[in-house]
Protein backbone atom coordinates (compact mmCIF):
# COMPACT_ATOMS: atom_id res chain seq x y z
CA UNK A 1 0.00 0.00 0.00
CA UNK A 2 1.57 3.33 -1.06
CA UNK A 3 2.08 5.78 1.78
CA UNK A 4 0.56 9.23 1.33
CA UNK A 5 1.90 12.44 2.87
CA UNK A 6 -0.16 13.19 5.93
CA UNK A 7 0.73 13.44 9.58
CA UNK A 8 1.81 10.03 10.82
CA UNK A 9 -0.01 8.81 13.94
CA UNK A 10 2.23 7.60 16.74
CA UNK A 11 1.93 3.84 17.23
CA UNK A 12 2.69 2.42 20.66
CA UNK A 13 3.98 -1.15 20.42
CA UNK A 14 3.41 -3.01 23.68
CA UNK A 15 5.74 -5.98 24.26
CA UNK A 16 5.35 -8.07 27.42
CA UNK A 17 8.50 -10.06 28.18
CA UNK A 18 9.61 -12.75 30.59
CA UNK A 19 12.84 -14.66 29.99
CA UNK A 20 12.41 -14.01 26.26
CA UNK A 21 16.07 -14.01 25.23
CA UNK A 22 15.53 -16.70 22.56
CA UNK A 23 12.92 -14.76 20.59
CA UNK A 24 13.03 -11.06 21.51
CA UNK A 25 15.66 -10.25 18.85
CA UNK A 26 13.31 -11.36 16.06
CA UNK A 27 10.52 -9.26 17.59
CA UNK A 28 12.65 -6.12 17.80
CA UNK A 29 14.36 -6.63 14.44
CA UNK A 30 10.95 -6.81 12.77
CA UNK A 31 10.15 -3.41 14.30
CA UNK A 32 13.50 -1.94 13.33
CA UNK A 33 12.98 -2.79 9.64
CA UNK A 34 9.56 -1.13 9.40
CA UNK A 35 9.21 1.56 6.72
CA UNK A 36 6.91 3.39 9.16
CA UNK A 37 9.07 4.91 11.89
CA UNK A 38 6.73 6.97 14.07
CA UNK A 39 6.46 4.44 16.87
CA UNK A 40 7.47 3.86 20.45
CA UNK A 41 8.23 0.48 22.00
CA UNK A 42 7.08 -0.18 25.55
CA UNK A 43 8.68 -3.22 27.18
CA UNK A 44 6.85 -4.55 30.24
CA UNK A 45 9.20 -7.12 31.71
CA UNK A 46 8.30 -9.56 34.48
CA UNK A 47 11.70 -9.34 36.17
CA UNK A 48 13.46 -11.63 33.67
CA UNK A 49 16.45 -13.57 34.97
CA UNK A 50 18.02 -14.13 31.53
CA UNK A 51 19.48 -11.69 28.97
CA UNK A 52 16.15 -10.28 27.71
CA UNK A 53 16.69 -6.71 28.90
CA UNK A 54 20.35 -6.74 27.89
CA UNK A 55 19.31 -7.68 24.34
CA UNK A 56 16.61 -4.99 24.27
CA UNK A 57 19.08 -2.29 25.31
CA UNK A 58 21.66 -3.37 22.72
CA UNK A 59 19.12 -2.85 19.90
CA UNK A 60 19.08 0.91 20.64
CA UNK A 61 15.49 1.41 19.50
CA UNK A 62 12.93 3.96 20.70
CA UNK A 63 12.16 1.90 23.78
CA UNK A 64 10.92 2.50 27.30
CA UNK A 65 11.48 -0.39 29.70
CA UNK A 66 9.48 -1.14 32.84
CA UNK A 67 10.48 -4.03 35.07
CA UNK A 68 8.35 -5.54 37.83
CA UNK A 69 5.94 -8.26 38.85
CA UNK A 70 2.55 -8.62 37.21
CA UNK A 71 -0.53 -10.83 37.33
CA UNK A 72 -0.03 -12.37 33.91
CA UNK A 73 0.47 -11.25 30.34
CA UNK A 74 -2.75 -9.24 30.06
CA UNK A 75 -1.99 -7.37 33.27
CA UNK A 76 1.39 -6.52 31.74
CA UNK A 77 -0.28 -5.38 28.50
CA UNK A 78 -2.70 -3.19 30.48
CA UNK A 79 0.26 -1.54 32.18
CA UNK A 80 1.82 -0.91 28.79
CA UNK A 81 -1.34 0.66 27.39
CA UNK A 82 -1.61 2.98 30.39
CA UNK A 83 1.98 4.13 29.89
CA UNK A 84 1.61 4.54 26.12
CA UNK A 85 1.67 7.92 24.39
CA UNK A 86 0.52 6.78 20.96
CA UNK A 87 -2.78 7.21 19.17
CA UNK A 88 -2.74 3.58 18.01
CA UNK A 89 -1.92 0.50 20.10
CA UNK A 90 -0.17 -2.59 18.72
CA UNK A 91 0.21 -5.66 20.94
CA UNK A 92 3.26 -7.63 19.80
CA UNK A 93 4.16 -10.61 21.98
CA UNK A 94 7.85 -11.34 22.55
CA UNK A 95 7.36 -14.64 20.71
CA UNK A 96 5.98 -12.90 17.59
CA UNK A 97 7.19 -10.54 14.89
CA UNK A 98 5.77 -8.37 12.10
CA UNK A 99 5.32 -10.22 8.81
CA UNK A 100 7.17 -7.71 6.63
CA UNK A 101 8.54 -4.18 6.67
CA UNK A 102 5.23 -2.67 5.54
CA UNK A 103 3.00 -3.97 8.36
CA UNK A 104 2.88 -0.73 10.38
CA UNK A 105 2.76 1.49 7.30
CA UNK A 106 -0.24 -0.38 5.89
CA UNK A 107 -2.08 -0.20 9.20
CA UNK A 108 -1.31 3.49 9.78
CA UNK A 109 -2.54 4.38 6.28
CA UNK A 110 -5.86 2.66 6.85
CA UNK A 111 -6.53 4.40 10.17
CA UNK A 112 -6.18 7.70 8.32
CA UNK A 113 -7.89 6.75 5.06
CA UNK A 114 -10.85 4.83 6.48
CA UNK A 115 -11.28 6.83 9.70
CA UNK A 116 -11.79 3.67 11.74
CA UNK A 117 -11.18 2.71 15.36
CA UNK A 118 -9.75 -0.75 14.65
CA UNK A 119 -7.69 -2.34 11.89
CA UNK A 120 -6.96 -6.04 11.89
CA UNK A 121 -5.42 -8.48 9.43
CA UNK A 122 -4.18 -12.03 9.06
CA UNK A 123 -1.61 -14.04 10.99
CA UNK A 124 0.80 -16.85 10.17
CA UNK A 125 1.55 -19.64 12.65
CA UNK A 126 5.06 -21.08 12.40
CA UNK A 127 6.91 -23.78 14.32
CA UNK A 128 8.23 -22.87 17.74
CA UNK A 129 11.79 -23.73 16.75
CA UNK A 130 11.54 -23.41 12.97
CA UNK A 131 10.29 -20.15 11.48
CA UNK A 132 10.31 -21.65 7.99
CA UNK A 133 7.77 -24.32 8.95
CA UNK A 134 4.33 -22.73 8.44
CA UNK A 135 1.61 -24.53 10.38
CA UNK A 136 -1.40 -22.42 9.50
CA UNK A 137 -2.36 -19.22 7.72
CA UNK A 138 -5.02 -17.59 9.88
CA UNK A 139 -7.13 -15.68 7.40
CA UNK A 140 -9.73 -13.51 9.09
CA UNK A 141 -12.71 -11.75 7.50
CA UNK A 142 -14.88 -8.65 7.74
CA UNK A 143 -16.68 -8.48 11.07
CA UNK A 144 -20.39 -9.22 11.05
CA UNK A 145 -22.81 -9.34 13.94
CA UNK A 146 -22.67 -12.56 16.01
CA UNK A 147 -19.61 -13.98 14.25
CA UNK A 148 -18.05 -14.63 17.65
CA UNK A 149 -20.86 -17.14 18.26
CA UNK A 150 -19.32 -19.22 15.47
CA UNK A 151 -15.92 -19.41 17.13
CA UNK A 152 -14.65 -16.50 15.01
CA UNK A 153 -12.28 -13.81 16.18
CA UNK A 154 -9.54 -11.72 14.62
CA UNK A 155 -6.01 -12.94 15.38
CA UNK A 156 -5.14 -10.87 18.43
CA UNK A 157 -1.51 -9.93 17.51
CA UNK A 158 -2.82 -8.57 14.18
CA UNK A 159 -5.43 -6.43 15.99
CA UNK A 160 -4.62 -2.69 16.12
CA UNK A 161 -6.85 -0.27 18.01
CA UNK A 162 -6.91 3.41 18.94
CA UNK A 163 -5.96 4.13 22.53
CA UNK A 164 -9.09 6.23 23.04
CA UNK A 165 -11.18 3.09 22.62
CA UNK A 166 -9.31 1.33 25.43
CA UNK A 167 -9.91 4.41 27.56
CA UNK A 168 -13.60 4.47 26.65
CA UNK A 169 -14.44 0.76 26.79
CA UNK A 170 -11.88 -0.57 29.27
CA UNK A 171 -8.72 -2.66 29.17
CA UNK A 172 -8.19 -6.45 29.23
CA UNK A 173 -10.06 -8.24 31.99
CA UNK A 174 -7.30 -10.29 33.59
CA UNK A 175 -9.76 -12.58 35.39
CA UNK A 176 -10.61 -14.08 31.97
CA UNK A 177 -7.13 -15.59 31.71
CA UNK A 178 -6.05 -16.55 28.19
CA UNK A 179 -9.48 -15.60 26.87
CA UNK A 180 -9.01 -11.94 27.82
CA UNK A 181 -8.00 -11.05 24.27
CA UNK A 182 -11.11 -12.64 22.73
CA UNK A 183 -13.34 -11.01 25.34
CA UNK A 184 -11.87 -7.58 24.59
CA UNK A 185 -12.22 -7.96 20.82
CA UNK A 186 -15.81 -9.18 21.29
CA UNK A 187 -16.54 -6.22 23.57
CA UNK A 188 -15.05 -3.72 21.13
CA UNK A 189 -16.54 -5.16 17.92
CA UNK A 190 -19.83 -6.78 18.97
CA UNK A 191 -20.86 -4.91 22.11
CA UNK A 192 -19.45 -1.41 21.64
CA UNK A 193 -19.65 -1.55 17.83
CA UNK A 194 -16.41 0.32 17.20
CA UNK A 195 -15.79 0.88 13.51
CA UNK A 196 -13.33 -1.64 12.10
CA UNK A 197 -11.54 -2.47 8.85
CA UNK A 198 -10.24 -5.88 7.80
CA UNK A 199 -6.97 -5.76 5.88
CA UNK A 200 -6.64 -9.02 3.97
CA UNK A 201 -2.88 -9.28 4.42
CA UNK A 202 -0.58 -11.11 6.81
CA UNK A 203 0.57 -8.61 9.42
CA UNK A 204 2.18 -10.74 12.13
CA UNK A 205 3.93 -14.10 12.45
CA UNK A 206 3.36 -16.09 15.64
CA UNK A 207 5.39 -19.03 16.91
CA UNK A 208 3.06 -21.89 17.78
CA UNK A 209 3.19 -22.83 21.43
CA UNK A 210 2.22 -19.60 23.20
CA UNK A 211 0.20 -19.39 26.40
CA UNK A 212 -3.14 -19.88 24.64
CA UNK A 213 -2.17 -22.84 22.46
CA UNK A 214 0.64 -24.68 24.25
CA UNK A 215 -1.49 -27.63 25.40
CA UNK A 216 -4.96 -29.14 25.12
CA UNK A 217 -5.89 -28.21 28.68
CA UNK A 218 -5.31 -24.50 28.03
CA UNK A 219 -7.24 -24.64 24.76
CA UNK A 220 -10.25 -26.29 26.44
CA UNK A 221 -10.15 -23.83 29.33
CA UNK A 222 -9.96 -20.90 26.96
CA UNK A 223 -12.99 -22.09 25.00
CA UNK A 224 -15.03 -22.70 28.17
CA UNK A 225 -14.36 -19.16 29.35
CA UNK A 226 -15.28 -17.83 25.90
CA UNK A 227 -18.56 -19.76 25.89
CA UNK A 228 -19.32 -18.29 29.28
CA UNK A 229 -18.93 -14.60 28.35
CA UNK A 230 -20.79 -15.25 25.09
CA UNK A 231 -23.62 -16.50 27.34
CA UNK A 232 -24.14 -19.72 25.39
CA UNK A 233 -22.45 -22.17 27.78
CA UNK A 234 -25.76 -23.79 28.78
CA UNK A 235 -27.18 -24.01 25.26
CA UNK A 236 -26.09 -27.38 23.84
CA UNK A 237 -26.95 -26.55 20.22
CA UNK A 238 -25.10 -23.22 20.24
CA UNK A 239 -22.10 -24.80 21.96
CA UNK A 240 -22.03 -27.62 19.38
CA UNK A 241 -22.29 -25.09 16.56
CA UNK A 242 -19.46 -23.03 18.09
CA UNK A 243 -17.13 -26.01 18.40
CA UNK A 244 -17.89 -27.57 15.00
CA UNK A 245 -17.53 -24.29 13.14
CA UNK A 246 -14.28 -23.46 14.92
CA UNK A 247 -12.71 -26.86 14.28
CA UNK A 248 -13.76 -26.85 10.62
CA UNK A 249 -12.47 -23.33 10.12
CA UNK A 250 -9.05 -24.05 11.68
CA UNK A 251 -8.69 -27.33 9.79
CA UNK A 252 -9.66 -25.70 6.50
CA UNK A 253 -7.09 -22.93 6.97
CA UNK A 254 -4.28 -25.40 7.60
CA UNK A 255 -5.38 -27.67 4.73
CA UNK A 256 -5.83 -24.89 2.18
CA UNK A 257 -2.40 -23.50 2.94
CA UNK A 258 -0.73 -26.88 2.39
CA UNK A 259 -2.64 -27.45 -0.87
CA UNK A 260 -1.84 -23.99 -2.29
CA UNK A 261 1.84 -23.85 -1.28
| Average of per-residue pLDDT values in the chain | 90
Q: What is the pLDDT of residue 7?
A: 75
Q: What is the pLDDT of residue 226?
A: 83
Name the DSSP class of 3: -
Q: What is the pLDDT of residue 254?
A: 62
| 3-class SS string, 38-99 | CEEEEEEECCCCCCHHHHHHHHCCCEEEEECCCCCHHHHHHHHHHHCCCCEEEECCCCEEEC
d(CA 117, CA 218): 31
Dihedrals phi, psi of 229, to nearest 5 degrees: -75, -15
Task: Please state which of the ranges 18-22, 128-132, 144-148, 249-253 shows the lowest mean pLDDT.
Answer: 249-253
pLDDT digits (tens, 9 = 90+) for 67-117: 999 999 999 999 999 999 999 999 999 999 999 999 999 999 999 999 999
Domain 11-260 annotated CATH 3.90.550.10 = yes
**Looking at the predicted structure, is the pLDDT value of residue 256 above 70?**
no
**Looking at the predicted structure, is the pLDDT value of residue 40 above 60?**
yes
**Mean pLDDT confidence for 210-238:** 75
**Looking at the predicted structure, is the pLDDT value of residue 259 above 50?**
no
pTM: 0.90
Ordered by start, the domain boundaries in the chain are 11-260
Amino acid sequence: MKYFKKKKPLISIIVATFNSEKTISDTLDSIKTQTFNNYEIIIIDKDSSDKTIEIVKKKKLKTRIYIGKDQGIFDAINKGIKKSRGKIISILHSNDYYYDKYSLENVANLFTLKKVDIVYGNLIYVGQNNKNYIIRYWKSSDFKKNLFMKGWSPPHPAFFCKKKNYVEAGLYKINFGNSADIELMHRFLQVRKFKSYFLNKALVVMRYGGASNNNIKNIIKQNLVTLNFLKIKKNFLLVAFFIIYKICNRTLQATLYKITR
